[in-house]
Structure formats: C-alpha cells, structure tokens
Copies of this chain bind each other. A is one copy, B any other.
Amino acid sequence: MKQKLALLKLLADETRLNILNILLREDSYVEKIACDLSLTPATICYHLKKLEAAGVVNCSRSQFYMIYSLNRELFDKPLFEWIKKEEPVLDSEEKYRKEVLSHFFKYGRLVQLPTQRKKREIVLGEIAKAFEPERQYDEAEVNEIIHRFHEDHCTVRREMIACGIMAREKETYWLVT
C-alpha cells in the first residue's frame, strides 16, 4: 500500500507529468528536458531521481548524457488497481459499534435511548446479550433484566419488540434468532 501511495504522489505533480509525457514520446536527458519545460537542470534532476527511485524511469549513460527512459509496463493496469488496498481495511462495523456503545453506556448503564434507528439497534443488541437464546421469559423477568441497564424498562422492552430483537406472544418473550 505504502508503495502505491508513494507512486500516486509522484504522479500528482505537474512537472513530473510533463516529464513523463516527454519520455512517453522518446527517451531524453536532463538538460534537454529542462530546456523543454523552461526549468533548471537541478529541478529536473530532482524529479528524475525521485522517479528513478520508484522504478518509474530507468537511466543509462550515452556519451555526455544520462538518457532517461520510461518503465512502460507500470501504466497498463487500470487506475482501480492503484487505489485498492489488499488488506481488508479494518472491521469498520465493530469499531463503530464500540464507539456508539461507549457513548450511550456509562458504568454499564444505558444513559439514554438513541433516537436514530441504527444506533438504537446497536444499543438494544447489547442489552439483548443479557438474555439467553432459545429460552422463554415472562414479562416480570424481562423487566428485571432490562432494569439492570435502564430505568424505563417499559420503553426499552417495547423497542426490543419493535426492532425485531425480541418477540412476544401473550405473556411470553424470547430472543429472535
């Protein structure tokens, strides 16, 4: 990745693009390129050395001159390949989840029920962990468990149903799998 970023940085400069365009047409050398672009040889050399270090160009001496030439294979791949990371980035969802939880829970208790659905689902999902799957609870049990997390167990209980995290029939509640 570092490699690709470095290469993109190299390409993102007007002078270097100009140099590459010159080399795209034909090999050339420092003084001539400097003349073409109305810049000093020092500047052109600075850029060519950077390009060379990254493997974008090669150079070899011919008489007085250092002839620079383009490494053309580099440019065949679609741009897509140049921006994509190999690593699976990071488990974004999990990180976001922790962020939300740490915001709404203080000392293990739910400070406030989030307004937004997405955050509310995360918070309710966390509370749902206190219930065992495949087990049936009566309303008093449900209230008691929820109450460990939040004062208003009625609202939370209702939201658990609304979000589809728990189901209920008559007086019986259970976790939806």
Chain A residues with CB under 8 Å of chain B are 4-5, 8-9, 11-12, 14, 17-18, 20-22, 24-25, 28, 32, 35-36, 63-64, 74-80, 82-85, 89-90, 92, 95-96, 99, 116-117
Contact = CB atoms under 8 A, between A and B. Distances in A.
A4 to B, nearest CB: 8
A48 to B, nearest CB: 15
A79 B73 CA distance: 10
Given A9-B12, A116-B64, A89 B25 contact: yes
Nearest to A117: B63
B85 A75 contact: no
Nearest to A33: B92
